[in-house]
Amino acid sequence: MAPKASSTKKSGSDGESPKAKLPKLPTEFILRPSQTELKQSAIVYVSPQILSITGWSTGSFVRITRGLTEVTLILQGWKPENEDKYDLNVILVSNEILSLTGMLLGERVELKKAVSQPAYATEIHVDFVSQDESKVQADIVDLGLVYENICTDSFLISQVSNLETVTDSLNELSLSSSAKRKQLTPFLVHPKTTKFELHSVEKLLPPPAPYSYASIGGLQSQIESLKRTIDVPLRHPEIFQRFGIDPPRGVLLHGSSGTGKSLLLKCIAHESQGCHIINISGPSIVSKYLGGTEEKLRDYFKEAIKYQPAIVLIDEIDSLTPSRNNEDVSEVDTRVTATLLMAMDSIDGAVIVIGATNRLNSIDAGLRRPGRFDQELEVPIPDADSRYDILSKQFISMKGQHDLTNEQIRAIASATHGYVGADLVSLCRESILKCISRGISSHENDQKVSYQDVEESRAEIRPSAMREIVLEMPKVSWDDIGGQEVLKRKLKEMVQLPLTAAQTFTRLGISAPKGLLLYGPPGCSKTLTAKALASESGLNFLAIKGPEIFNKYVGESEKKIREVFRKARTSAPSIVFIDEIDALATNRDSEDAGNVSRQVLNSMLNEIDGVEELKGVIIIGATNRPDSIDPALLRPGRLDRHVYVAPPDRHARRQILEKNTAQFNLPEPTLLLEKLSDLTDGFSGSETVLLCQEAGLAAVMEDKNATQVLERHFLAALNDISKNITPEMLEYYREFGEKYRAV
């Protein structure tokens, strides 16, 4: 004990205080603007404590890294008065460097010491405006460290080279040189050895921003609304103070996946110059320690309030703040949601929060009120005009490497129903790949994307709006259906008229027919007609199958009906086909109708003609028992068009026979087909097809190497086929048609 006391006394007698323990070096740093003169643009300012912790010296070279972007700058400690203004993990960078790298205020970056000194530039090409050449050259020399594409108010450095880069450009491919430019290679400037090539221009054209509103197609109204909501509260908060009200605090972007919500968030960040940007994603702030997630969330909002004007961007906000009414929500989720609610209520000043989600109803209701997320902005699935705008911008970005006309682009936009922005970008990418493959196979390097490339790619890309319940589009054409000319004409009018004459419908104030009922004897091509309609019209096609709808759990059957119609709305124009509709829409007064079937029918009636209007969706039902359907479904405004699909007449049977015997190598086909058309009087379409199948089978059984089917084979098959359509059945359909005034 004595030595310790003596040691303590000696330390005190010398008047020396124990050495203060230095703080830990931050793992990441926050970018803030340096607001310096032009000659200090290549300097990064850090806290003097960072110099003490690391042992780095002023004037040394350091690297700032964010993702794949890396920039080398000159290290400098900031002035003592900034010590109280900024935290230890803040570094100050000039606006010129921010614009060059595409980095944003508030972003997290890494700071490391450079391994080696940058090379000296041999030659620098400069574009300048309205300034003396010697002044421009002196300003660049003062920079000390230069990059290609660095731009100021008076000059733009368009190219920097030295002996090494010239050698690399001769020995390496163009892809390598472009990759090297992306790494932002730094160069030192020597006033004597560096040669300057100065070009006077009327206007400087700085490199385009990585994300901008102008590059987004089909969302002009949403962009304008965002600008109004963001710019005024951030740039002019005093306006709201003058009126004695609080500015808007938040905007919630919602819509289907792939419509452009995340892209809008990126554009907001890059277009809001001078604003402190804080990006929050649910998984990135989740901590394994109790209370860690809430602490990170509070720190982000404290940072936003400290460095305002600030924008807090929260992508996939539903994963961070699920509804507290949900039974599956955990205690941690509840605390995080409550923390975010309190953080938004504590916002003071020029701070706005923007969230994005594709599950709007999963977010806690406490966030969706004025004072928090004041505005909910839907990012919808694009319509034909919006798809044209998106495709036009995509083809413009190809820089002339396509030969599509505006009419062809318009045709593609009209045919891509249900495609979101991400699908259209994928369509263009797939078209480019097909073009490249075609060029490789033909050994031609000047191939351009053609309309055929896009059409072939469209067949391989399914619309995201339909991905969950989409069916394989039936490959059936009108030619596959024998006869039924009147039926085909009525279906074409019902589906195509509302699309081709949409403006006339709007001008006259009339609505397009919502649905039609195909009824008739079994085997008369009702289902085949619906498939042909879907294939020929090019509309999105959804099919409802009775057995898949019914579920033993209460409410699940009705939920599936609602989900099908919700998908149909989002991917409009679309067709909802309900085969054997009598199984789903049984008359509620009949003894066969159970409680579940009644509930399913009620859900279907509400979806077709309920409070929420059904636009751009056509319902087609098919049945051979029309009297079993509930009358409420057959009234005007629902399935109001009743089309009788009659058995094929003689001409129709001749077409069916001719199509199905095309490879039979018939002897005297004209006479034989005429005779068979008479012999099949009263046959349904499916029975006529069956006749051809049985005749072919009889020929194979007679001779395994048969090359043709003869008349005797047909006559033998006729004896084995019985007609299912009876006069009583036809009378039954005639009475139903008169009852409902079928068209």
pLDDT at 171 > cutoff 80: no
pLDDT at 178 > cutoff 70: no
Asked if 641 and 494 touch (Cβ cutoff 8 Å), the reply is yes
Report which of residues 97 and 470 the model is more confident about. Answer: 97
pLDDT at 6 > cutoff 60: no
pLDDT at 471 > cutoff 60: no
Task: Using a pLDDT cut of 90, give the percent of the chain over it.
Answer: 14
Asked if 542 and 574 touch (Cβ cutoff 8 Å), the reply is yes
The stretch 113-135 carries a mean pLDDT of 87
Cβ count within 10 A of residue 528: 19
The region of weakest confidence among 168-172, 449-453, 485-489, 528-532 is: 168-172
Determine how β-strand 351-357 pairs with β-strand 250-254. parallel
CB under 8 Å to 539, separation ≥6 — which residues? 417, 495, 573, 574, 575, 618
Tens-place pLDDT, residues 334-380: 888 899 999 998 888 889 999 999 888 888 888 888 888 988 998 98
pLDDT at 321 > cutoff 50: yes
Asked if 65 and 109 touch (Cβ cutoff 8 Å), the reply is yes
With b for 16 or more beta-carbon neighbours within 10 A and e for fewer, the 288-309 pattern comes to eeeeebbebbeebbebbbebbb
Q: How confident is the model at residue 474 (pLDDT cuts 50, 70, 90)?
A: low
CB under 8 Å to 171, separation ≥6 — which residues? none
pLDDT at 170 > cutoff 60: no
Three-state DSSP at 633 gives helix
The stretch 314-324 carries a mean pLDDT of 86
Check whether the bond before 309 is cis (ω within 30° of 0): yes
For position 132, what pLDDT does the model report?
81
Cα distance between residue 740 and residue 456, in whole Å: 45
Q: How confident is the model at residue 499 (pLDDT cuts 50, 70, 90)?
A: low
The stretch 71-95 carries a mean pLDDT of 90
Asked if 268 and 226 touch (Cβ cutoff 8 Å), the reply is yes
Q: Give helix 451-458 / helix 421-442 axis angle, nearest 10°.
A: 120
For position 163, what pLDDT does the model report?
64
For position 15, what pLDDT does the model report?
46
Cα distance between residue 717 and residue 713, in whole Å: 6
DSSP assignment letter at 495: H
Q: How confident is the model at residue 2 (pLDDT cuts 50, 70, 90)?
A: very low
Give pairs for 652-657: CB < 8 Å, separation 24+.
652/482, 652/483, 652/484, 652/685, 653/482, 653/483, 653/677, 653/680, 653/683, 653/688, 654/482, 655/482, 655/483, 656/482, 656/483, 656/685, 656/688, 656/689, 657/688, 657/691, 657/692
Order the strands of the 617-623 sheet from edge to edge. 540-544, 574-579, 617-623, 515-519, 641-644
Closest among 691, 732, 730, 686 to 714, alpha carbons compared:
691
The stretch 535-547 carries a mean pLDDT of 74
Tens-place pLDDT, residues 623-635: 888 888 888 888 8
The stretch 452-464 carries a mean pLDDT of 84
Q: Give helix 650-660 / helix 685-702 axis angle, nearest 10°.
A: 40
Cα distance between residue 276 and residue 310, in whole Å: 4
Q: How confident is the model at residue 5 (pLDDT cuts 50, 70, 90)?
A: very low
The stretch 311-329 carries a mean pLDDT of 84
For position 169, what pLDDT does the model report?
41
Give pairs for 586-589: CB < 8 Å, separation 24+.
586/628, 586/629, 586/630, 587/628, 587/629, 587/630, 587/631, 588/630, 588/632
Instruction: Specify which residues 75 forms β-bridges with.
Output: 44
For position 173, what pLDDT does the model report?
37
Report which of residues 613 and 77 the model is more confident about. Answer: 77
For position 45, what pLDDT does the model report?
94
Tens-place pLDDT, residues 43-76: 999 999 999 999 999 999 999 999 888 999 999 9
* CA-to-CA dists, residue 390 to 378, 406, 412, angstroms: 17, 13, 11
Tens-place pLDDT, residues 672-714: 888 888 888 888 888 888 888 888 888 888 888 888 888 888 8
Cα distance between residue 487 and residue 497, in whole Å: 15
Q: How confident is the model at residue 536 (pLDDT cuts 50, 70, 90)?
A: confident
Cα distance between residue 104 and residue 30, in whole Å: 10
The stretch 286-293 carries a mean pLDDT of 82
Q: How confident is the model at residue 593 (pLDDT cuts 50, 70, 90)?
A: low
Tell me what the pLDDT averaged over the chain comes to: 82
Q: How confident is the model at residue 390 (pLDDT cuts 50, 70, 90)?
A: very high
Task: Using a pLDDT cut of 70, give the percent of the chain over it.
Answer: 91
User: Residue 730 corresponds to which amino acid?
Assistant: L
Cα distance between residue 110 and residue 88, in whole Å: 14
Q: CA angle at residue 110 from 109 to 116, to 5 degrees?
A: 130
Enter the tokens of residue 590.
């009949």
pLDDT at 476 > cutoff 80: no
Three-state DSSP at 723 gives coil
Instruction: Specify which residues 125 forms β-bridges with.
Output: 159, 197
For position 31, what pLDDT does the model report?
94
Three-state DSSP at 46 gives strand
For position 63, what pLDDT does the model report?
93
End-to-end CA distance of the chain: 111
For position 468, what pLDDT does the model report?
53
Cα distance between residue 254 and residue 232, in whole Å: 22
The region of weakest confidence among 219-223, 241-245, 253-257, 549-553 is: 549-553
